[in-house]
Amino acid sequence: MSIPRLLAVVRKELCHITRDARLLFLVTVAPAFLLVTLSYVFALDVGRVNVAVRDLDRTSLSRDFTASLGADDDFAVVAYVQRDAEVEPLLVRGVADVVLIIPHGFADAALGGQRTEMQCIVDGSDSITAGQTIGLLQQRVSDFVTDLLGQRSVDVSVGLQVSDRAWYNETLKSLISMVPGMLAVIMCMPALALTLALAREKETGSFEGLIATSVRGAEYLVGKLVAYVIGGMVSLVLAWLVATQWFRVPFRGGFLDFLLLAAAYLFASMGVSLLVANFVRNQQTAMFLILMVFFIPSFFIAGLITPVSSAPIARAVASALPTTHFIAISRGVFLKGLGVVALWRQASVLVATGAVSLAGSLVLLEKKIS
Amino acid sequence: MLLRIWNLVLKEFVQFVRDWLMTTFILTLPILQLILLAQATSSRISDLCVAVLDFDRSGDSRRLVAALDNRRELNVCHFPETLEDSHYLLDQGDATLAVVIPTGFAADLADASTEPHVQLAADASNSLPGSIALQAANGAIIEFAAERAATRGATAISPVDLRTTVRFNPELNARLFSMPAQVGFIVYQVTLTITSIGLARERELGTLEQLLVMPLRRVELVVGKAIPALIIGSVNFVCLLAVTVFVFEVPLRGSLALLFALTLVFIVAEIGYGIFISSIARTQQQAILLVFVLAMLDMTFSGYMVRVKNLPLALQVIAQVVPFSHYLEIIRGVMLKGAGLDVLWPHAAAMAAIGVLVIVVAVRSLGRSLD
């Protein structure tokens, strides 16, 4: 392999990328753009919950409770229900997410030390939000009761204290964990561009022209890879800026570590797309294949939203996807402040994937040329 | 005029039948996609790995570990020796939750004057499993303590009980939320692709010129192109709805006729978008790219994964002009809540208004690009 020839190929590829506006967009700006839109799509935070209250008790205590619900931004009391028949339409119309029913004698029972029951009816059509809403409401009720009993110096302790901390993302905000994960998913766009470019070279016939030059197969492939990894690094920095400046996600790790690990990921994903490109004839198929192989599975099995499944087949597919490892890396560097040393497992898998698929596509290419 | 449109529609169908490979794709791929996605979204989060650091090693601490392990969400799988080890497990993502049971846990629990202090630390770098693990562990520990207290004769139960009833989806099954949206999204994709590519292909192949020299008026050309897309979109919708209701048992509580009628309105609005795209795009590839970008934007602004009211305010405003966001309210409302037109009319009206507007703009823009 000769270095000057390799550099010539790299220069040619970089020229291609910068000259074609569509390709330049795909390689550099598209990931940052997608990061902004898709992060909102998957931000599963509960916004403000709209509550309708049916107060059968009408005491100062029940009013206190209602007021305590609306005290901050989690809940907003949107309606006071007078008749039972009004409950259902409120939920069907989506005016209220929850209807809270405070029973007769609520104050008497709560103050007299008897047990009483409050009822809440939740709109379950959005299951994730509904689950979180129920948890939030239970928290509010138990806070209110503890306050109430504390004022009357009644000990409600169960004889045990639990302190819980959410590490790495103290407020448990979904966006904070979704943005670094999504950054990993969208970084497959430069790989998509590489496959498209290879397929186009075949379509337009300029591949034949390249073979006729003195460039060897290895130089051709490595040169392409290097050029697109460089383009990918540019888009990575843009996406990183979006994550830290627009979304204000904390970046606790080292920037150099992040760049190094990202280069390993780009190497792996570009390697796989070189391999895929060997089997496609036109750009349409290339696009379709990359979307099916990289993009769609990345959302559902790579651990972006739910953790990687423990079922053997799903687990095997997930560990074969470079995105799975880069999601762990991205969250590790952003939120946990880990470096290359702590993430060596993921990094070595990525480097190995890249090396194996590069070797594989080299063999296939040599066969095709000869 | 009707005859001329009829002939054009006939021509389109002949083309579909000839290009049988694409037609099978259009009819079967969406169903496959729907099934795959339904499988992916139904899995509830369970068996999150827990690391327990038990400094007490007593009968009580082991019972607490068992109580944690018995939770469906949790699975105790690591017993690190030191705090550093448990920290390492969280860092590596090998455990989602670390529980620290202090020395003297059993003794403090038995003594009414002292309270043992259990510590939980969750890996919240992925917030959903992190918060689920915390909630489940908290629940298990409080239950464990309450049971212990009850055996000592103490009433440690809160005087106010919150009884929850979940309407429309009692098991909080994620499928019920995502599948109607998926049906809508696939119908949207198929209609938009067929309409926008159809004209772009005629242009690319040069057959558009031939169509233009025929005694067809512009409106007839547009209607003739729109009718096949409308039929294919509706057939797709019926198939997908059948799979959703009969295979995946998502309820259809409202009126099927209403849902179908409003779906037709939705499809017509999307056909308008398709015609608009084909008036801009010169090649099929450009058309595909435009559809892709539009689909991405619509996913963001439609409440496909997250409801519109949870979006930032600026995005909520944009969502109002996206027909897909109104259609999602309609299909979820009819299927899950059994809502009727009395509830859904604002969304239906908005969708129809946007549709009419888009079609007017699209036909004008197409007319200009044809002349």
The dihedral through the CA atoms of B167, B170, B172, B177 has a sign that is: negative
A267 and A243: one domain?
A: yes
Residue A160 lies in a domain: no
Chain B residues in contact with A300 by the CB 8 A cut-off are: 37, 40-41
The answer to whether position A210 is within a domain reads yes
Domain presence at residue A125: yes
Q: Which among B145, B168, B310 has CB closest to A160? A: B145
Helix boundaries (H) for A72-160: 87-93, 106-112, 127-151
Q: Which two tokens stand for residue A112?
A: 């007299």
The residue ranges of chain B whose pLDDT is under 50 are: none
Per-residue model confidence (pLDDT) at position B35 = 78
User: Which of A119, A152, A185 is the last residue before a domain boundary?
Assistant: A152
* Smallest Cα distance from B171 to chain A, Å: 8
**Do A289 and A260 lie in a common domain?**
yes
CATH of the domain at A61: 3.40.1710.10
- A159 occurs within a structural domain: no
The answer, for B283 touching chain A at a CB cutoff of 8 Å, is no
- pLDDT band at A67, cuts 50/70/90? confident
When pLDDT is averaged across residues A87-101 and rounded to a whole number, the result is: 87
**pLDDT tens per residue across span A298-350:** 777 777 877 777 677 777 878 888 888 999 999 989 988 888 888 888 999 99
A201 lies in the same domain as A288: yes
**Domain of A191, in residue numbers:** 3-43+173-369
pTM of the model: 0.75
Domain boundary among A117, A152, A187: A152
* Domain contains A31: yes
Average pLDDT over chain A reads 82
**Overall average pLDDT of the A269-284 stretch:** 81
Nearest in space to A294 (alpha carbons), one of A324, A316, A315: A324
Domain shared by A247 and A358, yes or no: yes
Q: Are residues A312 and A352 in the same domain?
A: yes
Mean predicted confidence (pLDDT) in A235-253: 91
Number of domains into which chain A is organized: 2
User: Of B157, B158, B169, which has the smallest distance from its Cβ to A124's Cβ?
Assistant: B169
Q: Show which of residues 71-110 on chain B sit within 8 Å of chain A, judged by CB atoms.
A: 90-93, 96, 109
Together in a domain, A193 and A342: yes
**Each residue of B114-164: pLDDT tens digit?**
778 888 999 888 888 888 888 888 888 878 887 777 776 555 556 677 777
Cβ of A130 within 8 Å of Cβ of B166? The answer is yes
Same domain? For A36 and A66 the reply is no
Pairs of CB atoms within 8 A across A/B: 259
Please tell me which residue of chain A has the smallest CA distance to B48: A307
- Kindly give the pairing relationship between strand A98-102 and strand A116-123: antiparallel
**Residue A83 sits in the same domain as residue A183:** no
ipTM surpassing 0.90: no
Whether residue A270 lies inside any domain: the answer is: yes
Q: What is the pLDDT, as a whole number, of residue A160?
A: 67
Q: What is the pLDDT of residue A153?
A: 55
Residue, of A134 and A151, whose pLDDT is higher: A134
Asked if the C-beta of B285 comes within 8 angstroms of chain A's C-beta atoms, the answer is yes
pLDDT band at A355 (very low <50, low <70, confident <90, very high): very high
Residues A201 and A323 in one domain: yes
* Each residue's pLDDT tens digit, A25-66: 777 888 888 888 778 777 766 678 889 999 888 888 888 888
Q: Residue A147 domain-assigned?
A: yes
Query: Mind listing the pLDDT tens digit for each residue in B199-240?
Result: 777 887 778 778 777 777 777 888 888 888 899 899 989 999
pLDDT category at A257 given cuts 50, 70, 90 is: very high
Same-domain pairing of A206 and A237: yes
Contact list in B for residue A22 (CB cut-off 8 A) is 289
One domain, residues A301 and A217: yes
Residue A116: band (very low, low, confident or very high) from pLDDT cuts 50, 70, 90 = confident
Q: Same structural domain for residues A109 and A204? A: no
Among the three residues A118, A152, A186, which one is the final residue of a domain in this structure? Answer: A152
C-alpha A353/C-alpha A349 separation (Å) is 6
Task: Tell if the CB–CB gap between B130 and A115 is shorter than 8 Å.
Answer: no
pLDDT of residue B269: 92
- Residues A343 and B351: their CA atoms lie apart, in Å, by 50
Domain for residue A78, yes or no? yes
What was the pLDDT predicted at A157?
Answer: 55
